[in-house]
Amino acid sequence: MSGNGNAAATAEENSPKMRVIRVGTRKSQLARIQTDSVVATLKALYPGLQFEIIAMSTTGDKILDTALSKIGEKSLFTKELEHALEKNEVDLVVHSLKDLPTVLPPGFTIGAICKRENPHDAVVFHPKFAGKTLETLPEKSVVGTSSLRRAAQLQRKFPHLEFRSIRGNLNTRLRKLDEQQEFSAIILATAGLQRMGWHNRVGQILHPEECMYAVGQGALGVEVRAKDQDILDLVGVLHDPETLLRCIAERAFLRHLEGGCSVPVAVHTAMKDGQLYLTGGVWSLDGSDSIQETMQATIHVPAQHEDGPEDDPQLVGITARNIPRGPQLAAQNLGISLANLLLSKGAKNILDVARQLNDAH
């Protein structure tokens, strides 16, 4: 027996080593599930490669007693992962796209945007309110959300409810909802609940007229070193053309408005019959003041193609060389045009006041 074992070991030593691709992720259960799904796809595409997942905690995971909008740090859930990327400790990082700022630090790019899951927000109710909707919750019921965007829109729509900050990963927030009596319901991203397999906890999915979603919500982004052509080629096949174009438009809108998580900005996009529709809005913190508009552009969802390198391939932090450039530019221009329309109608003032009030509290 031992002889056979030694022979196998020797054969293994002499065989060419498989290349190992190191993948960075946050430590939370949802982050791991999202990363595992991307790695599973890559493994199927590249059976000759080995993938190693390296999990780490980020600033946003560690600071749990402060609302995200108060911390004043644009790269809350990405900084530590980007350090690992910079130091060559990992080759790529899987993020929720909505956590990635519209301007990335120099040297990084989003090399893939995977097919988007349901981008809408969901309401999870305390068990005693099962079967209710936000509309039918009792007066002064407290609803938990860590997002200014959600609170501003929902306060406007449901003035009989109170909105309070709730932090922590999905497991922590659900536990706070179920075990404490403080919250009647909490608002979470539908995509996260679905990825965790918690479909049965979704009590209500919010439609765009009730609550538009965050830029990039429901999509995963793969961040890589901008000059690492090898890895860019490797992950580029993960781009979903429709998701990519919708998210370029959304990110261009947010970037041009200079919004972030310290102000209430939301979007809704749809592709239909060669048209990309983008709705965007800004709100005051209490939701009393708002501007919303919709614009559209003719954009045909392209098939992937092989394209030569371009001087500066990045658009709003995204590199997609295997998708034709024309539709990408059209999506970016749509986002910029909509932002300009809102700015011409007074959006800057609403956002400046929201920022000042948020900083003051």
Alpha carbon of 40 to those of 29, 45, 243: distances in Å? 16, 9, 20
| Domain 20-118+215-360, CATH number (from 3.40.50.300, 3.30.160.40, 3.40.50.700, 3.40.50.1110) | 3.30.160.40
Cα(62)–Cα(336) distance, integer angstroms: 35
The answer to whether 177 and 186 are in contact (CB under 8 A) is yes
Q: What class is the 121-205 domain?
A: alpha beta
Task: Give strand pairing partners of 188.
Answer: 122
User: pLDDT digit of tens for each residue in the chain (361 aa)?
Assistant: 444 445 444 433 434 568 999 999 988 899 999 999 999 999 999 999 999 999 987 654 444 444 444 444 445 567 788 889 999 999 999 999 998 999 999 999 999 999 999 999 999 999 999 999 999 999 999 999 989 999 999 999 999 999 999 988 899 999 999 999 999 999 999 999 999 999 999 999 999 999 999 999 999 999 999 999 999 999 999 999 999 999 999 999 999 998 666 789 999 999 999 999 999 999 999 999 999 999 999 998 877 665 544 555 799 999 999 899 999 999 999 999 999 999 999 999 999 998 888 877 6
Residue 88's CB is within 10 A of a number of other CB atoms, namely 10
Report phi then psi at 181, rounded to 5.
-100, 10
Q: What integer pLDDT is reported at residue 198 of this predicted model?
A: 95
* Beta-sheet strands, E only, within the chain: 19-26, 49-56, 92-96, 108-113, 121-125, 142-144, 162-164, 185-189, 204-205, 220-225, 265-272, 275-283, 290-298
Fold agreement between 20-118+215-360 and 121-205? no
Cα(340)–Cα(217) distance, integer angstroms: 22
Active site residues: 99
Q: What integer pLDDT is reported at residue 61 of this predicted model?
A: 47
Cα(176)–Cα(342) distance, integer angstroms: 38
Q: What integer pLDDT is reported at residue 20 of this predicted model?
A: 96
Alpha carbon of 346 to those of 2, 139, 262, 302, 339: distances in Å? 78, 33, 18, 35, 11
Residue 271's CB is within 10 A of a number of other CB atoms, namely 17
Task: Give strand pairing partners of 49.
Answer: 19
Domain boundaries, the chain: 20-118+215-360, 121-205
The pair of three-digit structure tokens given for residue 30, joined into one six-digit string: 């949802």
Q: What integer pLDDT is reported at residue 357 of this predicted model?
A: 86
Got the DSSP string for 238-251? T--HHHHHHHHHHH
Length of the chain, in residues: 361
Please enumerate in sequence order all residues whose Cβ is within 8 A of that of 356, keeping only pairs 6 or more positions apart, or say none: none
The pair of three-digit structure tokens given for residue 325, joined into one six-digit string: 């450039």
